[in-house]
A and B are shown apart, each in its own frame.
Chain A
Amino acid sequence: MIEATNLTKRYGKKTAVDDVTFTVEPGRVTGFLGPNGAGKSTTMRMIVGLDRPTAGRVRVNGRAYAEHRAPLAEVGTLLDAKAVHTGRTAYNHLLAMAATHGISKKRVAEVIEMTGLESVAGKRVGGFSLGMGQRLGIAAALLGDPQTLILDEPVNGLDPEGVLWVRNLVRFLASQGRTVLLSSHLMSEMAQTADHIIVLGRGKVIADAPVGEIVARAAGGAVVVRSPQAAALEEALRATSAAVTQTESDRLEVTGVPAERIGEIAAGAGIVLHELTPTNGSLESAYMQLTADEVEYHSENPLGHVAQEQGALR
């Protein structure tokens, strides 16, 4: 269990985490989402005492992290894969970490096997790929068989097998009644892994709810329509309030109008339909809507830019 109360972190004038209060419950996987710069990593670092909160406090399993006598048995952390000396071998890194808690070499060998690092355990970490670094970070997090896991972008750089493995791992650990806090930018992955979602935007909690609820809250999904007369249908739909995007020569994505109405319009105009599929809102679209106003670093849409210029020329 992780309990953050009025947690705040300022760097000079910039507020990275702004009076945040949330609870990460045991027995489920909690996804931690937010745009770059929203304060996720800072919050995670404060949970394990690496950054000092400017105000507020955070407890893990009932106490401040630093007050635990065996912190690695309470919380396993993957903050970033680079928290390892590049000149040391993976095995020696784990051995040194284990030594602080009297953890046996047998357990070190066990986490190496679990994370599939056997073939590279004797190599220096400096030569590791991103994925191998992630596996090592996860191995270190599992060393103390902790009650709580905090994983910042664990699937970043992993191959599909590794992604699946992480999903199964965190689902299994949560099923054992452990607390799992997981951040990722891969929405589809998060939708399959997490039970509960906390969304941060500009240092504030903008959503804290079960995955299903967050998805349902998002505005209706699009309707996919296939028709050999796509252009004619588009024309007919434009007359209503529908927003239409042509994705392929015979495929349209329509929002703002229910599927029934699209069918009626098509029938009225004598247009043949090959497909008419309402899609559910996805976690991704829900997330995009939630964070639309909160994105710290907007990436400019290159096409939008061109369109504007063309508009100006006309």
Chain B
Amino acid sequence: MTTTFAPATPNPVRPVSFGRVLGSEWIKLRTVRATVWTLSITVLVMAGLAALTGWSTVLMRDSDIEVDAILLDMHPASIVNGGWFFAQLVVIILGVLTVTGEYATGMIRSTFAAVPRRSPALLGKAAVLFATVFATSAVAVALSWLVSLPFLGQLDISVDFASAETWRLLGGTALYLATMSVLAFAVGALVRHSAGAIAIVIGLVLVIETVLASIPLRIFELVSPFLPSSAGGRLLMDEVSLSFVSNPDAPVLTPWQGYAVLVGWVVLLLGSALLVTRRRDA
């Protein structure tokens, strides 16, 4: 320790702004190992499952088993983004940890001491998380396309980048994964507990939405299409799958309507998290 305490240089300190909070949150996100691990796993899961989907499609075509028409009409981009369902479980964990990691370690007190209005800090975190997961997912989709090329070639199909459906399916994957990570983030900010929040969001996606959708009661038929991942997942389905899953008695959302419903959930949860966090003791 030195014995001089005065700053050696003039030390300009500027007011807190949202841009500076974004910069700070970006430093925080990229300097913990959880981010590196979860994002690497996201890319691996996406690319691996794209290869697996392509391979199994080739195998099924070559087998003597009578193949569903749906498989033969499958959009080539659906092979490329075949890993989205499992990839979302990973980005959910990252979304939760981005905020609960700070509560668990006490870092949140440093964060709120620097940004005492709190909402900019949470919104900055959410924005940086969204952008990072979106960019990583876009890279994952590109890589998935590359690894599925050999299988697409064997199937004599190719991804048509001139088609709007292709862009909806591939761009939608990045958009959906980034949005789900922010949904998980909002739950994490409300619950403030890593395991609890991860259990809630993954339980919702894996169990609750599936169970509710399969209960043959009118109320659940009406409600389940509007649950977050059921609605948002519509964005990632090709025309064939969309026609296949629609229940004639249940409300049918178009892909973008479905995504809008998911965004509605995120706005609701994130808004509640902001309100609650402003009032709570840190």
Contact = CB atoms under 8 A, between A and B. Distances in A.
Interface string B31-48: 111100000000000000
A89 B282 contact: no
Interface string B267-281: 000000000000111
Contacts of B25: 96
B206 interface: no
Interface string B109-127: 1101111110000000000
Interface stretch (B3-11, B131-139, B207-215, B231-239): B3-11
B218 interface: no
Contact of A100 (B32, B101, B114, B282): B114
B9 A110 contact: yes
Interface stretch (B16-24, B149-157, B183-191): B16-24
A29 to B, nearest CB: 14
B65 interface: no
A298 B135 CA distance: 57
A151 to B, nearest CB: 13
B28 A73 contact: no
A115 B1 contact: yes
A97 B110 contact: yes
A68 B20 CA distance: 16
Contact of A145 (B13, B105, B116): B13
A87 interface: yes
A70 interface: yes
A82 B109 CA distance: 9
A82 to B, nearest CB: 4
Nearest to A107: B11
A22 interface: no
A254 interface: no
A51 B8 contact: no
B101 A51 contact: no
* Chain B contact patch, size range: 35 or more
Nearest to A114: B2
A99 B32 CA distance: 17
Interface residues of A, number: 55
A116 B115 CA distance: 27
A113 B31 CA distance: 21
B78 to A, nearest CB: 37
Contact of B8 (A79, A102, A110): A110
A243 B145 CA distance: 89
B279 to A, nearest CB: 7
A153 interface: no
Interface string A152-178: 000000000110010011001100100
A185 B250 CA distance: 67
B116 A49 contact: yes
Contacts of B23: 99-100
Contacts of A168: 3, 5
Interface of B: 1-9, 11-16, 20-21, 23-25, 27-28, 31-34, 101-102, 105-110, 112-117, 279-282
23 contacts: A45-B281, A48-B116, A49-B116, A50-B112, A50-B113, A68-B116, A70-B15, A71-B16, A83-B106, A84-B105, A87-B32, A88-B107, A93-B110, A99-B20, A99-B27, A100-B16, A103-B14, A114-B4, A135-B1, A144-B13, A162-B1, A165-B3, A172-B5
Interface of A: 45, 48-52, 65-66, 68-73, 77, 79-80, 82-89, 92-93, 95-97, 99-104, 106-107, 110, 113-116, 135, 140, 144-145, 161-162, 165, 168-169, 172-173, 176
